[in-house]
Amino acid sequence: MKTTLLGSIGIGLIATSLMAWAQPPFGGEEDIAYAEALWETMKDTNLVGEKRTMSAPYTGQHPHGAILDTMDGEITVEGTTGPVIVKRNYGGEGVSREAVWNDPDQYLGSVTVMFQREGYDPDNNDWFWAKYLPDGSLDTNPEGRPLAGRVAKGMEQGCIACHSTASGDDLVFGHDRFQ
Ligand code: HEC
């Protein structure tokens, strides 16, 4: 009896860890819902959407847009207040800093966001990552998984892997622009 019981607990534990392993660290229902709440808050604070304020566009770096414009601020999402960094990625034919300044909507390809959500991911400075299309829907990876949450924790590519190479220990590249 005893061994059977221990055996089933063992199998249970293995099954649980396999499920944790099989479950990608981002793009689940909770992440999608949170990304929607985040977008709404950013809209209310004029960080995204029609009424968004803009910074001077500058020449970007791969894999972000050819031209970028980055804003930061502090917002509260579902009771958590923290810093947010919003990067607008521009591209397309004829893109230039001037063209973007004159008609941002024409060239806006995506909006990449980092929101520091206390306690969410202590291994990676608690950042919640999201990549939106201009209309606020989430962009997806090649497998169709929405890019929201811990993207892509433990994997060799993705927001976290690349941003881990930023100098300093907070996964932010553009310090000069935000301080
Ligand atoms: C291969 C590397 C790489 C990947 C992958 C990457 N980024 Fe970045 N990211 C950068 C670099 C480099 C900058 C600085 C660009 C600049 O402003 O000139 C940056 C800047 C940013 C910024 C502005 C804050 C900062 O660090 O300067 C945000 C927000 C951001 N990225 C979000 C994301 C999100 C969300 C993802 C995933 C969907 C992502 N990034 C994937 C390299 C990467």
Domains and CATH numbers, the chain: 27-178 (3.50.70)
**pLDDT above 50 for 162:** yes
Instruction: Kindly report the average pLDDT of the chain as a whole number.
Output: 89
Residue closest via CA to ligand 1's atom 15 equals 61
Instruction: Return the structure tokens found at 84.
Output: 């947010």
Phi-psi region of 46 (alpha: psi -120 to 50; beta: other; left: phi over 0): left
Q: Cα separation of 16 and 51, whole Å?
A: 46
Mind listing the pLDDT tens digit for each residue in 39-89?
A: 999 999 999 999 999 999 999 987 888 999 999 999 999 999 999 999 999
Query: Does ligand 1 have an atom closer than 6 angstroms to the CB of 151?
Result: yes
Q: Which numbered atom of ligand 1 lies nearest the CA of 60? A: 18
Q: Cα separation of 83 and 143, whole Å?
A: 30
Q: Which numbered atom of ligand 1 lies nearest the CA of 157? A: 5
Q: Are 149 and 129 in contact (CB under 8 A)?
A: yes
